Structures are given as structure tokens and as C-alpha cells.
Amino acid sequence: MNEKYLYFCSHMKKGVFYIILSGLSFLVVNFFVKLFGMGAENNVIPGLQRIPAHELVLARSIISFTISSCIIVYRGLPFFGKNKKWLTIRGFSGMMALTIFFQSIQNMPIAVASTIQYLAPIFTMLFAMAILKEKILKIQWLFVITAFIGVVLIGLNGVIQSDAPVSLNPLWVGLGVLSAACSGIAYVAIVRLKPTDEPINIVSYFPMMAIPVMSFWCLFDFVMPVGIEWLILILIGICTQIAQISLTRALHCESASVIMPFQYLGSVYAFLVGYLILDERLNSVVMVGVLVILVGVIFNTIIRSNKSLN
């Protein structure tokens, strides 16, 4: 094996590890956001209050900002980073994406909301091609479309529950797609910041923007957490911090076009949680959708990997 191959494999493995860790951490966050959206109606943690999405974003941002600030100061990094233009773009687009996504989770089945959100890699690829001038092979488009078809198949099954019909508001479906697009912009910004800023600086710009905006929003409908709700909010903040840092490190290890398709696996995680914990009963078409996604992701990655080695 030549040095170029070993170098690529090492970075590829790190990138895949970080993107999977990010997806699992986000899964924990999304699960608790869903429970808070259900309030006392959930069967997992009885007695939870119904806490609005923007308040959860605020709690997550306060914890994330506290952790990030301590790390930045400890490491002696410039507090506001270097490339402030792209840091601001990353912070604003990330804030928009997460806020809308949390709202969609609370207003749609978690499986459907998560599936729509995982269209983000499609937008990332498109924005990376347009902004970062990343080259996409023609055959990659075939497998990207294949993965997208798998997401659509799963999304359609999220609408049809085996035990009761699910009615989806087209507004929330549209907002879910907007959230995915905002995530795509945020991911491209992370890649753009790779040469100039540390991952922790990139992560910190989200709470810098979210705290003032969400604080103002919470003036109108703040719900005071009680008991175990405080612990869950802290867990949401910690898991989101892990997810954000892992995602940033993943994008710093490899090209966005190589790494981001693995985020489609988050759609699989969401359906497993929906089936095993939230009692979402889905038929065999879901398994077909999962298989189609994996085929699209794996072959797209293999093709991109071979291209990088040439």
C-alpha cells in the first residue's frame, strides 16, 4: 500500500466514525425533543411538561456556549474566531435549521421529521458544488438519487401507520425541507472554515446567535422546567455539543461529498427508535427504503473514494 492510500484510509475512517457518532448523539437529542413535544401524553417518562421547541434550543445553546467558551479560553484561542463572515453564516444557518427541525419533530412523527431532515446531504452536495467547486462524478448522481428514493420510501411509510392514520400538515413538511436546506448551508460553511478556524470556534457561533434570539422568543411562552426535566435539558445540551463537534471534525477529515452521505443512516436510527420505543408500526416497504438508502450511500462513497485515490 502506498502512503497516499494509507493517508486516505486513515482520514476516511476518522470521518466516518465522527459522522456516525454525530448521528447517534443527535438521535438522543431528537428523542427527548419529541418527548417534550408530547408532554404528559408520552408513555416513556410520565408527567413531562410540554416545552416548546425554541425553549429547548435556548437551553441547548446555553449549555453549548458554556462548554465551548471554557474550551476556547483554556486553549487560548481567539474567542470570535478568524473567518467571521463564514462563522456568522454557519451560526445563523445552523440556528435556523435546528429551530425549524425541533418544531417539525414536535409537529410530525419523529420518523417523518428525521427523514425529511436527512435530505440535508443532498443540499450539502449541491451547495458544495456551487460554492466550494467540488466536483461530482456523473455516476454519483445516480446513487444520490437512489438514496433519495430510499428516503422518500421511508417518508411515505411514516405517513401510513399500521395502527392509526397520520395526518401531515403540508406547512410542516415544507418547513422540514427548509430546515434541511439550512443544514446544507451550515455544513458547507463548516468545510469552508476548515483552513482558518478550530472546530470549537465553529461550534460556538451557533449559541452566540441563538441565545439572544431564543431568549426574546421565550419571553412570550416560557415554561419553567421541574424535576427530571432539568437533567434532560442538560443531557440535550451535552449530546448536541458532542454531535456538533463530531460533525465538524468529520467534515474536516474528508470532503463533504464523501462524508455527508453517511448521515442518511440517521434516518434508519430514527425509525428503529420509532418502532421500538414510540410504537410506530411500519411495514416491509420501510426495509426496502433502508436497503435502497444503504445501496446509494455505500456505492456513492466507494466511487468517491476511488476517485480520491487516483
Grid coordinates standing for 294? 444503504
The yes-or-no verdict on residue 214 having pLDDT over 70 is yes
64-106 pLDDT, tens digit each: 899 899 999 999 999 998 899 999 999 999 999 999 999 999 8
- Where residue 81 falls (left for φ over 0; alpha for ψ -120 to 50; beta otherwise) is left
What is each CA distance from 52 to 40, 56, 91, in whole angstroms?
A: 13, 7, 21
CA quadruple 204, 205, 209, 212: dihedral, nearest 10: 30
Evaluate whether 277 touches 258 at the Cβ level (below 8 Å).
no
Nearest to 26 by CA among 261, 263, 283: 263
301: buried, middle or exposed (CB in 10 Å: 19+, 13-18, 0-12)?
buried
Evaluate whether 150 touches 290 at the Cβ level (below 8 Å).
yes
Number of CB atoms found within 10 A of residue 305's CB: 16
Which ranges constitute the DSSP H helices of 76-162?
Answer: 84-107, 110-117, 120-131, 138-159
Residue 49, pLDDT score: 92
The yes-or-no verdict on residue 42 having pLDDT over 90 is no
pLDDT confidence band for 161 (50 / 70 / 90): very low
Grid coordinates standing for 220? 412570550
Helix %, strand %, coil % for the chain, to 5?
A: 80, 0, 20
pLDDT confidence band for 5 (50 / 70 / 90): very low
pLDDT confidence band for 306 (50 / 70 / 90): low
Mean pLDDT along residues 30-57: 90
Residue 223, pLDDT score: 93
Tell me how far apart the terminal alpha carbons of the chain are, to the nearest angstrom: 14
Burial 7-41 (b: 16+ CB within 10 A, else e): ebeebbebbbebbbbbbebbbbbbbbbbbbbbeee
237-291 pLDDT, tens digit each: 888 878 877 877 776 766 655 666 676 677 778 878 887 888 766 556 656 766 7
CA quadruple 301, 306, 308, 310: dihedral, nearest 10: -170
Q: In residues, how long is the chain? A: 310
Grid coordinates standing for 206? 451557533
Rounded CA gap, 262 and 226, in Å?
A: 37
Number of CB atoms found within 10 A of residue 130's CB: 10
